[in-house]
Amino acid sequence: FELPILAPSILASDYTKLGEEITTCTDAGVKWIHCDVMDGHFVPNISYGPAIVEAAGRASDAFLDVHLMIENPDQYIEAFADAGADQLTVHQEACPHLHRTIQSIKQQDMMAGIAVNPATSLTTIEPILEYVDLVLIMSVNPGFGGQSFIENTYQRLKDMSIIRENKQLGFLIEVDGGVGIDNIEKVTRSGADVLVAGSSVFKAKNITKSIEDLTKRARM
């Protein structure tokens, strides 16, 4: 994939025309689709599960980037593999046996990501970094679309890039929450390789144009 990667989150899409909106994205050049799974326990909101992920997969051949904001993710790894997820990202805060969880994801032939909430120290994931394909730095408190970007995320992205360089690792750095046309350039410059965008893509008047604008600005 050419970096940076724009990953529209279908959390903000119109579910009555999910397939159509996904193909609008892929026609505009989108390579990754981000799916936000929420359980009402780990986060104070419920979104959708494997059935919608499976439907999103049938709509296009985009890479399915599935972000699990759920407790006990181990219990659902197989279900999301069967649903066609290409990558599963679990939260550090939800996984007491993180190494085991990451191994289980890989055993199901998926890429494995680790997410950290805004108040979680990056040092808590250092021992797992050599085993993951992606680190997701949350730029909002997970649970809802449409929140505003937390400013210290820029520094956290820079810090994670430095850690990656020092350890000579190759994982991707993803950012999620409050990314839009006014900050996407700074977010990319701070070190993000994958940019999740929900509202700024799907709540725009013209999805195609918003994708073009975001992509252009991200590459500046």
Q: How many residues bind Zn ion (CB under 5 A)?
A: 3
Cis peptide before 4 (omega within 30 of 0): yes
Please identify, using beta-carbon distances, which residue of 7 and 103 lies nearer to ligand DX5.
7
Q: Which residue has the tokens 């350039």?
A: 185
Residue 39 a catalytic site member: no
Q: Please indicate if the annotation marks 34 as binding a ligand.
A: yes
Residue 74 a catalytic site member: no
Residues at the contact surface with ligand DX5, assessed by CB under 6 A? 9, 11-12, 34, 36, 67, 140, 142-147, 176-179, 196-200
* Residue 43, CA atoms < 13 Å, CB-side half-sphere: 21
Q: Closest distance between ligand DX5 and the C-beta of residue 198, in Å?
A: 3
Instruction: Tell me the residue number closest to ligand DX5, measured at CB.
Output: 198
Q: Coil, strand, or helix at residue 116?
A: strand
For residue 143, give the nearest of 177, 182, 102 by alpha carbon. Answer: 177
| 174 in contact with Zn ion (CB under 5 A) | no
Q: Closest distance between Zn ion and the C-beta of residue 216, in Å?
A: 23
Contact 211, 219 (CB under 8 A): no
Cα–Cα separations (whole angstroms), residue 145 to 8, 31, 40, 47, 128: 12, 21, 15, 11, 28
| 36 in contact with Zn ion (CB under 5 A) | yes
Q: Would you please indicate which residues are annotated as catalytic (active-site) residues?
A: 36, 176
| Binding site members for substrate | 9, 67, 143-146, 176-178, 198-199
Residues in contact with Zn ion by the rule CB under 5 A:
36, 67, 176
